[in-house]
Structure 1
């Protein structure tokens, strides 16, 4: 099973039209707001001598930070254009980047067989996946962890819809970075709050720690306040 052609092209179109400028994607926050605090939550439970795989890596901003905290980092993304962005942003080869459809279970298994047990970092991927694909995305996390890996997964909660609505209804309509997300048919905060723990449990994942912390974005409200989207986080192991 693969993602639908419409969904794949939405992401390819988005990344093709996104420049290489840091922070050009609304979620491409500096790691100080994302991978750095998330690593502090994951590392007490994880073996840092294992590599980490960044699922939905986009332009690789978080991947490159994760490479400094673990024994290597691999960023994977559905979009070939996103992987190209990440490689251009990393001429020193701090991390590796590959195209991967998380819904393609055979491809996920092949990656797991090639690299062995790994830690996983996944920031806001399930919430915008198509409903029929979400169990496979959660299953990809479990497959990649193997017996020794640990995962940090954070996903937007329903409160994010209110924040995004406020941003979209500001003077002049949605800010430019958010407008481009909507223009490509991408649907942030599309999953229900109770869906996430159910998906993770059904994938054979055990929650070792959890909490709530917002995901700061690179765009601002009309009053100059940085957009921060409410989110839940989970540290996970394979059951």
Structure 2
């Protein structure tokens, strides 16, 4: 199984027309507002001696930050153009980047074989995935964790729709960052809060912790406040019954 051709084209087209500069994409907020608070939520559960894999890394903004907190950080993305941007932006070569379709579970297994047990960061990827791809993407998390790895999964809630609508309906039309999302048909789709635990459990994952937070965006409202999407986060591990060696 692999991601749909429409999905691949949409993301490749978006990143090919993007410079890759931090903050240019609508969701590409500074890591101090995104990965940093997520690491704080993750801290009580995670083994910091393991590497971390940033799934759906885009231009690598979060991956480079994660590299300062784990011995090895690997960012993967479906889009070759995104990976090229991430490598160019990583001037100090603190992280590694490669192209990977998360629904290609054999490819995910090969990555896991190369790096061993790892922690996983999955930020707002499931809601952008086609519905049929969501379970395989969650399974990719499970495959990479092994026995000791822990995953941090965060997704916008249904309430994020109202925030996005407010941004889209500004006088004069939506801002350029949101127009680019629409142009390339990167369709934010609702993943209901009740659906997320089911997806994670179906992928063989156990929820260790969860809560509500906001996902900071790079866009600002006309009054200067930052656009933030209500979100639900989970810390997960491979369920005991399906852990390697169980």
Task: State the distance in 1 between where 2:187 and 2:144 align.
Answer: 26
User: Is the 1:73–1:95 Cα contact (8 Å) retained in structure 2?
Assistant: yes
Distance 2:66 2:155 in 1: 18
Q: 1:157·1:231 contact (CA, 8 Å) conserved in 2? A: yes
Query: Match of 1:213, SS?
Result: strand
Structure 1 distance, partners of 2:52, 2:21, is 25
Q: Is the 8 A contact 1:160 1:189 kept in 2?
A: no
Q: CA deviation at 1:92?
A: 1.5
Give the count of matched residue pairs. 239
SS in 2 for 1:214: strand
Q: For residue 181 of structure 1, report the CA deviation from its aligned partner.
A: 0.4
Query: Residue 207 of structure 1 aligns to a residue in which SS?
Result: strand
Matches within 5 A, 1:28-107: 28-107=28-107
**Bigger Cα displacement from structure 2, 156-165 vs 16-25:** 16-25
Structure 1 stretches of at least 4 aligned residues deviating more than 6 Å after TM superposition: none
For the 8 Å contact 1:121–1:151, the answer to whether it is kept is yes
Moved more, 44-53 or 13-22: 13-22
Q: What RMSD, in angstroms, separates the aligned Cα atoms of the two structures?
A: 0.9
Question: Structure 2: how far apart are the matches of 1:21 and 1:152?
Answer: 25
Q: Which runs of 5+ in 2 are unaligned?
A: 240-246
2:67 and 2:224 map into 1 onto residues whose CA distance is 32
SS in 2 for 1:237: strand
Per the alignment, in what secondary structure is the counterpart of residue 44 of structure 2? helix
- Equivalent residue of 2:209, what SS? strand
| Alpha-carbon distance between aligned partners in 2 of 1:175 and 1:195, rounded to the nearest angstrom | 31
DSSP 3-state at the match of 2:216? strand
User: Is the contact made by 2:20 and 2:82 (CA closer than 8 Å) also made in structure 1?
Assistant: no
